[in-house]
């Protein structure tokens, strides 16, 4: 049977694919840096410079977990334990970490106003897994990974105080969300201990 030129080309290409020599070169050494490179190449691409805007919506919790894993390898050699990440619609602050529950909470209302700060908040709360307070160790880690030191909150998201207390001596006001039982004025009290003479009195209560 005679074959035309197009058929001959197709058969030649097929023979090349079938008998192409296998790549027998040894794999790269299994080092930590190799694992990191493989993890980065396999992980979904997460833009670290641009966070979804308020128009497109914030990332879902699954995306936040992938960002956590990516930052874990980039900044902590993958040594941070896995935690649960969730949004909170009640928080006025940017984020929080609860060690007892191994839970990072991201303030949804805050990041709807400032979506560009989401990565900073996540890194900040990841450092809290290692250092609960904002002490010297926390500040050193924040400088190393490029995260803010203090937790952020927006004034417009704060609830108005339910109670306003005043000092009977100097008149300073103390707005509070919860009731105070035995508290005295911090300015008038000597030694920062409770002093009955300067016990705060309830001035106003909002229902």
pLDDT of residue 8: 57
Question: How far is the C-alpha of 163 from the C-alpha of 71, rounded, in Å?
Answer: 41
pTM of the model: 0.54
**Separation in Å, CA 17 to CA 3, 11, 125, 148:** 20, 10, 52, 55
* Domains detected in the chain: 32-156 (3.30.2010.10), 159-205 (no CATH)
| Helix (H), strand (E) counts: the chain | 6, 6
Mean pLDDT (10-residue bins), the chain, 207 residues: 56 45 46 47 38 63 96 96 93 90 94 92 96 93 92 68 88 85 84 83 79
């Amino acid at each position: 049977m005679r074959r035309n030129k197009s058929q001959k080309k197709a058969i030649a290409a097929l023979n090349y694919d079938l008998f192409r020599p296998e790549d027998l070169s040894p794999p790269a050494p299994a080092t930590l840096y190799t694992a990191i490179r493989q993890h980065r190449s396999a992980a979904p691409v997460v833009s670290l410079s641009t966070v979804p805007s308020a128009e497109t919506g914030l990332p879902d919790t699954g995306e936040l977990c992938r960002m956590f894993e990516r930052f874990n390898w980039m900044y902590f050699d993958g040594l941070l334990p896995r935690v649960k990440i969730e949004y909170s619609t009640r928080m006025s602050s940017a984020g929080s970490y609860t060690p007892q529950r191994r839970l990072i909470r991201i303030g949804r209302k805050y990041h709807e106003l400032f979506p560009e700060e989401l990565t900073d908040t996540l890194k900040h709360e990841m450092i809290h897994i290692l250092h609960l307070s904002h002490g010297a160790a926390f500040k050193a880690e924040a400088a190393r990974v490029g995260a803010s030191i203090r937790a952020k909150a927006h004034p417009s998201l704060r609830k108005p105080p339910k109670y306003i207390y005043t000092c009977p001596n100097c008149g300073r006001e103390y707005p509070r969300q919860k009731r105070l039982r035995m508290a005295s004025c911090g300015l008038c009290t000597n030694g920062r201990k409770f002093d009955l003479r300067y016990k705060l009195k309830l001035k106003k209560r909002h229902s």
